[in-house]
Amino acid sequence: MDKDKRKPLNLASLLIRIVKVWRRDTFKKVWRLKVLRSGLIRSRRRRKKILRNEGLRVPMGIAFSPTMQCNLTCSGCYARFYPRENELSTDTIDAFISEAETLGVIFCVITGGEPFMRKDMLEICKKHRNILFLIVTNGTYIDETAAREIAESGNILPMLSIEGTAEQTDERRGEGIYHKVTECMKQLQKHGVLFGFSAVLTRQTISTLGSDAFINAMIDLGCSTGFYNELIPMDNADLQLLPLENQRQEFKHRLQRLRKEKPIVLVHLPDDEYNEEDRCLPVANGAVHINSQGYVEPCPFAHFARENIKTHSFRDILRSPFLQAVRSHPTLLKKEKGSIGCSLAGNRELLAEVARQTGATPTDSANP
């Protein structure tokens, strides 16, 4: 049995991995994430109290897509199916994060779209100093001024999207993007920011992304961590991008060796989120995704919702009949052996039926 599946990933275990990776300035960079100094214990106490007193299971972290707008058009991106209008206001995001914090949420994974296309993104993060914001970004909006602000904030961990070599990155993300991403990494490294890379595993790139040469390049550029993301196909056009099974197995073997030998924390998503029974633990434990219109989905690849943060409190959302039905379903969160990476994406028809039974509706143009 795979060792990582016996110990599913969460924020605490990720931070332990970061601390165990000994390399110059790592401890200093982690310490600059001020939210971690006392926040982990404080947030845990709040969640335990609410579970004991109200029976509500508050997640440690949530995913948030404040915008689905992006200056790039990468193939296979799930965000392309979302509407771009009626995005959340700054005040609505601010109020929701404030409430989530009081209930014990300590980190937000910010994705999209390109988060920094919102001019208020940095201000929102700086206003909520007790929340760790892990921001997945293409890096094109982070100049030296932004890098300095991120360093000073003490609660932002950027994850820069990259596809492998310069040729592979530019082919999927656009001409000149590799240069912009690596220049962004140099700025973040210069200002002492803890940051990493985020890469999607495709049939064309998986061998490169699992190579010593790629990892060595990322370490040299200052990455302390790296997220490998399984491509989750949203339509038939994406199937040609999926890695072959022999490629996936070879990558997993390489990843085990890289984790032991390289001074960088490497995370494989969503694989690291599943337990020994191949059950998705983040969703089972209450994690949610808020899209740019405010609809609350079980995860970024499950495009159905019943509640919206514009009209529902976080406590109401935690009691959602739809979300509770998803969490308690005997098979919906179980990933079949050899299936695509996400259980909810792999069980779309069943998810749609659960949504219909509980009053949830589609939130994108890809679902009927």
Q: Give me the helix-helix angle, 166-173 and 177-190, nearest 10°.
A: 110
Q: What 8-state DSSP symbol labels residue 87?
A: P
Does the structure show a pLDDT above 70 at 50? yes
pLDDT (tens digit per residue) in 313-336: 999 999 999 999 999 999 999 987
Compute the average pLDDT of residues 195-218. Answer: 96
pLDDT (tens digit per residue) in 351-364: 999 999 999 999 98
The band of 146, judged by pLDDT with boundaries at 50, 70 and 90, is very high
If you compute the radius of gyration of the chain from its CA atoms, what whole number of angstroms results? 19
- What is the average pLDDT score of the chain? 87
Does the structure show a pLDDT above 90 at 21? no
d(CA 97, CA 95): 6
Question: Which pLDDT value is given to residue 31?
Answer: 52
pTM equals 0.89
Strand 61-64 and strand 289-290: the pairing is parallel
Q: Is 3 exposed, middle or buried (0-12, 13-18, 19+ CB in 10 A)?
A: exposed
The band of 10, judged by pLDDT with boundaries at 50, 70 and 90, is low
**Cβ proximity of 225 and 196 under 8 Å:** yes
Question: Which pLDDT value is given to residue 116?
Answer: 96
Question: Which pLDDT value is given to residue 4?
Answer: 43
Question: Which pLDDT value is given to residue 125?
Answer: 95
